[in-house]
């Protein structure tokens, strides 16, 4: 029988930070690999659909909406399958999906940027089919990757560090995508060839980074469930009763939608409002420059005031900057770049600690229900993110149609004002609503989570 003294010792051991630099870096490189493929679609695919493939902005947006909703359901299926696995071997519960899924994902990424010579109906069908296939392939890599962090450590400081390295990888991918894709494409006189070549080169890099992640991370806290009928249903029911997850999901829906709205609309804003179609490279560079200071401040604030207050500070700073750019500075190059860079600095903070929140929610749900479900929890959280991405892909396409956007021609004054609202005001308002929901609704502080982990250790459930 385990004595209380031994249980306390176990808690102290699992609560001590233990992850080495190499493992944290390798985990972050996994998300850099994700971004080498995912960011291609999120940043460039809508413009590829409208300007290269030749479908309307409305149908381009509809492809994002339908595909992301489809993918949200794929996520839950993948999460359920991952959690239901038993008797998994030495490769672990989550890591094999990264190993075996990366090459198919790379292929699907390239295929989504191919523009066959079809009629309009055929082009729309092609866009739907290839992007839905890409999203399904991405789910089979990303859901296990995201679930992996909860099995690597239960220590709050380690989880914050994993989130820091993950966001570093994610933002580095955005930087690379923003800085190299357009110049690479412009090397080709035919952009219909340039896009798939550029995307293929980055996808190969993504495969290499996934393999580094697979090799160098370790699963430590994994429960191998016995076969039990209805366990997946029980896990979903327990998740629905998880108040921390519900608040985090709504907060994420709004904040991620805001972030991806900016990514989806920035090419249009830079080209037609700022008259600088290549500005995305400079903006991506500036965003990357402030990344390291942002990650440093995130780590410092998390230690001083905890993850929840840290996220709140970051989201407030982002909201203020978006409103300042909309009202005063968004039309003038220098002031826009200054305020937009400060905005990017602040959004690094909540985007970083978000990944630590979802790992904490796993223990919160286990503490309440007795069921530990990393895969279902993360896939359900990813479901929310995919819905937000769907809206972020559909809203620009719908908005471009509503404000009278016509590709590759000078835009009317009304269209230019509409682009400004889409790029600044809508993300700012969405994050303002998210701020109030999270501030008053999210119950988990670092202190509360530490107490929950202690109770789980005493109950011998981790």
| pLDDT confidence bin for 289, thresholds 50/70/90 | confident
Check residue 1 and give its pLDDT: 47
What's the whole-number mean pLDDT along residues 397-424?
85
Is there a contact between 82 and 143 (Cβ–Cβ < 8 Å)?
Answer: yes
Between 429 and 155, the more confident residue is 429
Check residue 325 and give its pLDDT: 93
Give the distance from CA 11 to its chain's centroid: 31
pLDDT in tens, 119-130: 999 999 999 999
Check residue 29 and give its pLDDT: 95
Is there a contact between 184 and 200 (Cβ–Cβ < 8 Å)?
Answer: no
Give the CA-trace dihedral at 415, 421, 423, 427, to 10 degrees. -150
Residue 20's SS3 state is coil
Q: Which domains does the chain have, with CATH numbers?
A: 19-218+228-458 (1.20.1250.20)
Least reliable range by pLDDT among 106-115, 325-334, 406-415: 406-415
Given a cut of 60, whether residue 13 has pLDDT beyond it is no
The residues near 155 (Cβ < 8 Å, ≥ 6 apart) are 14, 15, 16, 17, 18
pTM above 0.75, yes or no: no
Closest CA to 210 of 155, 176, 173, 181: 173
Give the CA-trace dihedral at 78, 348, 420, 266, to 10 degrees. -60
Name the CA radius of gyration of the chain, rounded. Answer: 22
Check residue 71 and give its pLDDT: 84
């Amino acid at each position: 029988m385990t004595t209380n003294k031994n249980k306390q010792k176990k808690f102290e051991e699992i609560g001590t930070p233990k992850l080495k630099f190499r493992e944290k870096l390798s985990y972050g490189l996994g998300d850099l690999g994700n971004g080498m493929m995912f960011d291609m679609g999120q940043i460039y695919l809508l413009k590829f659909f409208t300007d290269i493939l030749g479908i309307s902005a409305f149908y381009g947006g509809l492809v994002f909406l339908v595909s992301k909703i489809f993918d949200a359901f794929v996520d839950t299926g993948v999460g359920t399958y991952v959690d239901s696995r038993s008797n998994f071997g030495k490769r672990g519960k989550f890591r094999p999906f990264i190993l075996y899924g990366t090459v198919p994902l790379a292929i699907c990424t390239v295929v989504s940027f191919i523009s066959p010579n079809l009629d309009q109906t055929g082009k729309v069908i092609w866009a739907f089919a290839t992007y839905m296939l890409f999203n399904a392939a991405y789910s089979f890599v990303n859901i296990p990757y995201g679930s992996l962090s909860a099995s690597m450590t239960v220590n709050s400081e380690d989880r914050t560090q994993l989130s820091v390295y993950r966001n570093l990888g994610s933002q580095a991918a955005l930087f690379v995508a923003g800085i190299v894709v357009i110049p690479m494409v412009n090397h080709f006189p035919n952009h219909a060839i340039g896009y798939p070549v550029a995307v293929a080169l980055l996808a190969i890099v993504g495969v290499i980074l996934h393999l580094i992640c697979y090799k160098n991370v370790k699963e430590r806290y994994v429960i191998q469930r016995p076969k039990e009928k209805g366990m997946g249903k029980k896990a979903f029911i327990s998740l629905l009763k998880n108040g921390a997850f519900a608040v985090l999901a709504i907060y994420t829906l709004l904040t991620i939608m805001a972030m991806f709205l900016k990514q989806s609309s920035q090419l249009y804003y830079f080209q037609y409002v700022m008259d600088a179609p290549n500005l995305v490279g400079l903006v991506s560079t500036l965003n990357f420059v402030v990344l390291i200071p942002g990650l440093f401040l995130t780590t410092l604030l998390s230690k001083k005031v905890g993850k929840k207050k840290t996220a709140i500070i970051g989201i407030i700073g982002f909201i203020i900057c978006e409103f300042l750019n909309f009202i005063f500075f968004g039309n003038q190059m220098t002031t826009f770049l200054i305020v937009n860079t400060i905005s990017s600095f602040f959004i690094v903070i909540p985007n970083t600690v978000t990944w630590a929140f979802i790992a904490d929610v796993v223990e919160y749900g286990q503490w309440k229900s007795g069921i530990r479900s990393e895969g279902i929890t993360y896939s359900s959280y990813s479901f929310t993110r995919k819905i937000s991405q769907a809206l972020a892909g559909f809203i620009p396409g719908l908005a471009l149609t509503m404000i009278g956007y016509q590709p590759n021609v000078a835009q009317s004054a009304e269209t230019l004002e509409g682009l400004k609202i889409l790029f600044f005001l809508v993300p700012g308002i969405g994050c303002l609503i998210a701020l109030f929901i999270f501030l008053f609704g999210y119950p988990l502080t670092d202190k509360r989570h530490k107490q929950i982990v202690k109770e789980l250790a005493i109950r011998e459930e981790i």
